């Protein structure tokens, strides 16, 4: 029963995360800058997490602040590139492309930590490139800029995941996450102020989307992910969270009215299959080793 509870938490997290791509798209169309959106989102999310985990703040060590700051910078790059990418492409395309770290991480580990990828990594990387090529001809993408920025977000996310894997051996996961949120909030706020862009009038609809992004798509997402992974194996958790891109596709169709052409949907399917193969690989190795 505990395992199913963990799966349920992760499934809800994936659904909430998928909605976030649509909310960001609406805020961009209301003329908020990417830095304003990220700052507003993380202001609400960070305050939300501080209220829940305020007792943990004093327990964060200097080493955790150091590691968390590195992770926070990478997370900041992820959100900047992802939000900029959404200016030139649609929510579902952006979501599928930013969900590629499972494919990219092995090659980053190869280059940085000299851990050689296996044959399946090369297969899934090839499938991903095919999927991206198909998506590049989909409707709603201007000159490939959205593709490049979204892929850049995925690379930043992949680096964040690769370093997180190393830092978790030396620090507390919750403490690192709290530092990450603080760093993203600080950097985005500084750049939003320096940008000196006009802030659109805050209407009820705008406030609603910021609250949904901050409380649910960022703060609650993190809490649900943490709770879910207490009961579910990491490989299975990764598969469930990969569904975030699928939920983003459905949410974009229902709430945003997005319609990809057949080539675009085929590209999404190929990328999703590559992600599933990547996440199923550890389980397959375990079966082979036990046989």
pLDDT tens-digit profile of 154-192? 888 878 877 877 787 788 888 988 999 999 999 999 999
Instruction: Tell me which residue of 257, 277, 223, 270 sits closest to 53, measured CA to CA.
Output: 223
CA 191, chain centre distance (Å): 21
Q: What percent of the chain has pLDDT over 70?
A: 80
Segment 260-283, tens digit of pLDDT: 678 777 877 887 787 677 666 554
First CA to last CA distance, the chain = 28
- Per-residue pLDDT at 288: 44
Band the pLDDT of 140: cuts 50, 70, 90. Answer: very low
Measure the CA–CA gap between 38 and 186, rounded to whole angstroms: 10
pLDDT of 35 higher than 50: yes
Note the pLDDT of residue 131.
Answer: 74
Lookup result for tokens 């609250």: 211
What is the per-residue pLDDT across 69-102, written as a single tens digit (0 to 9) for each? 999 999 999 999 999 998 888 787 787 777 665 5
Interatomic CA distance for residues 182 and 72, integer angstroms: 8
Which of 18-27, 58-67, 74-83, 251-260 comes out lowest in average pLDDT? Answer: 251-260
Rounded Cα gap, residues 278 and 140, in angstroms = 28
pLDDT, greater one: 50 or 285 = 50
Are the beta carbons of 97 and 132 closer than 8 angstroms?
yes
Residue 111: its H or E element: helix 101-113
* pLDDT score of 154: 84
């Amino acid at each position: 029963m505990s395992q199913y509870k963990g799966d349920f938490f992760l499934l809800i997290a994936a659904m909430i995360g998928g909605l976030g791509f649509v909310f960001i798209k609406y805020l961009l169309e209301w003329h908020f800058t990417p830095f304003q959106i990220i700052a507003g989102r993380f202001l609400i999310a960070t305050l939300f997490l501080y209220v829940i985990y305020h007792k943990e703040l004093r327990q964060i060590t200097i080493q955790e602040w150091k590691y968390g700051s590195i992770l926070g910078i990478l997370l900041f790059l992820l959100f900047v590139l992802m939000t900029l990418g959404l200016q030139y492409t649609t929510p579902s395309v952006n979501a599928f492309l930013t969900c590629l770290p499972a494919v990219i991480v092995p090659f980053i580990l190869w280059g940085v930590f000299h851990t050689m990828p296996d044959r399946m990594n090369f297969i899934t990387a090839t499938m991903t490139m095919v999927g991206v090529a198909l998506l590049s001809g989909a409707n709603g993408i201007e000159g490939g800029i959205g593709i490049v920025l979204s892929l850049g977000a995925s690379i930043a996310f992949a680096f964040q995941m690769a370093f997180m894997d190393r830092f978790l051996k030396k620090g507390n996961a919750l403490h690192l996450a709290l530092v990450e949120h603080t760093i993203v909030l600080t950097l985005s706020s500084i750049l939003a102020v320096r940008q000196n862009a006009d802030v659109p009038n805050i209407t009820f609809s705008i406030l609603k989307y910021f609250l949904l992004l901050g409380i649910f798509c960022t703060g609650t997402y993190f809490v649900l992910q943490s709770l879910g992974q207490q009961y579910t194996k990491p490989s299975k958790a990764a598969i469930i969270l990969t569904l975030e891109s699928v939920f983003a596709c459905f949410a974009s169709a229902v709430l945003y009215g997005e319609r990809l052409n057949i080539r675009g949907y085929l590209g999404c399917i190929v990328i999703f299959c590559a992600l599933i193969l990547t996440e199923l690989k550890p389980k397959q190795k375990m079966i082979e080793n036990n046989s």
